[in-house]
Amino acid sequence: MSKLLTVIFIVFASVAAYDASAQAPVVKIGSCPAGYKVSGGYCVPKTPATPSAVKKKGTCPAGMKVSGKYCVSK
């Protein structure tokens, strides 16, 4: 029984880790940032490896670069 619980724990931990690494969609403002595609009123990552993006407000934070009206991870 404890082996079964261990396996279940590992599976759930793996799923949680995958979800944490997935990039969230961003609201579409003009063109989508590099690596994103349009889906409804949002820009969604084309692949799981797509860098994260946030709406640009002034200058981009350290570690991010400008891509249209967004800041994306370098």
Instruction: Please determine, for residue 57, whether its predicted confidence score (pLDDT) is greater than 80.
Output: yes
* Residue range 29-45, pLDDT digits in tens: 999 999 999 999 999 99
How many structural domains does the chain have?
1
Q: What's the domain range around 64? A: 2-73
pTM of this prediction?
A: 0.67
Q: Give CA–CA dist 26/38, Å, rounded.
A: 10
**If you average pLDDT over residues 57-68, what whole number do you get?**
96
> With helix as H, strand as E and coil as C, how does the chain read?
CHHHHHHHHHHHHHHHHHHHHCCCCEECCCCCCCCEEEECCEEEECCCCCCCEEECCCCCCCCEEEECCEEEEC
The residue type found at 54 is: V
